[in-house]
Amino acid sequence: MASDWTTFREQYFPITKHWVFLDHAAVAPLSLPAAEALRQYAEDLCQHGDAHEDDWDKRIQQVRVLAAALLHADPSEIAFVKNTSEAINFVAQGLDWRPGDNVLVAREEYPSNIYPWLNLHRYGVEVRLIPTRDARIWLDDIRAQIDQRTRLVSLSYVEFSSGFRNDLDAVGELCRQRGILFFVDAIQGLGVLPLDVRRMPVDFCAADGHKWLLGPEGAGLFYVRACHLERLYPIEVGWRSVLRDTEFSVIDFRLKPHAGRFECGSYNVGGLTALGASIELIVRIGVENISARVLELTDLLCERLTTHGWPVYSSRLERDKSGIVAVECPADPRQAVRHCRQHGIILNQRAGRLRISPHFYNTVEELEHTVAVLNHWRRKLS
Sequence ranges of the domains in the chain: 2-22+287-381, 37-283
Q: Domain spanning 37-283 has what CATH number?
A: 3.40.640.10
Cα dist from 69 to 74, 178, 247, 256, whole Å: 8, 29, 30, 21
> What are the backbone angles phi and psi of residue 181, rounded to the nearest 5°?
-75, 150
Q: Please list, in sequence order, all residues whose beta carbon lies within 8 angstroms of the beta carbon of residue 131, skipping any fewer than 6 positions away.
A: 107, 137, 141
Residue 273's nearest CA partner among 67, 11, 24, 18 is 67
Cα 17 from Cα 296, distance rounded (Å): 23
The pLDDT value given to residue 2: 55
Cα 145 from Cα 370, distance rounded (Å): 41
Q: Please list, in sequence order, all residues whose beta carbon lies within 8 angstroms of the beta carbon of residue 288, skipping any fewer than 6 positions away.
A: 194
pTM metric for this prediction: 0.96
Cα dist from 239 to 47, 254, 266, 336, whole Å: 27, 11, 9, 49
Residue 320's nearest CA partner among 138, 167, 111, 121 is 167
Q: Residue 206, SS3?
A: strand
The pLDDT value given to residue 339: 98
Cα 379 from Cα 192, distance rounded (Å): 34
135 Ramachandran zone, left/alpha/beta (phi>0; psi -120 to 50): left
The pLDDT value given to residue 382: 79
Superfamily of domain 2-22+287-381: Aspartate Aminotransferase, domain 1 (3.90.1150.10)
The pLDDT value given to residue 20: 98
Query: Partners of 242 in the beta sheet?
Result: 255
pLDDT per residue as tens, the chain (382 positions): 655 899 999 999 999 999 999 999 999 999 999 999 999 999 999 999 999 999 999 999 999 999 999 999 999 999 999 999 999 999 999 999 999 999 999 999 999 999 999 999 999 999 999 999 999 999 999 999 999 999 999 999 999 999 999 999 999 999 999 999 999 999 999 999 999 999 999 999 999 999 999 999 999 999 999 999 999 999 999 999 999 999 999 999 999 999 999 999 999 999 999 999 999 999 999 999 999 999 999 999 999 999 999 999 999 999 999 999 999 999 999 999 999 999 999 999 999 999 999 999 999 999 999 999 999 999 999 7
Cβ 356 vs Cβ 21: under 8 Å: no
Query: DSSP alpha helices (H): ranges in the chain?
Result: 2-12, 32-48, 53-71, 84-94, 115-118, 139-145, 168-177, 269-285, 287-307, 333-342, 364-381
Q: Residue 25, SS3?
A: coil
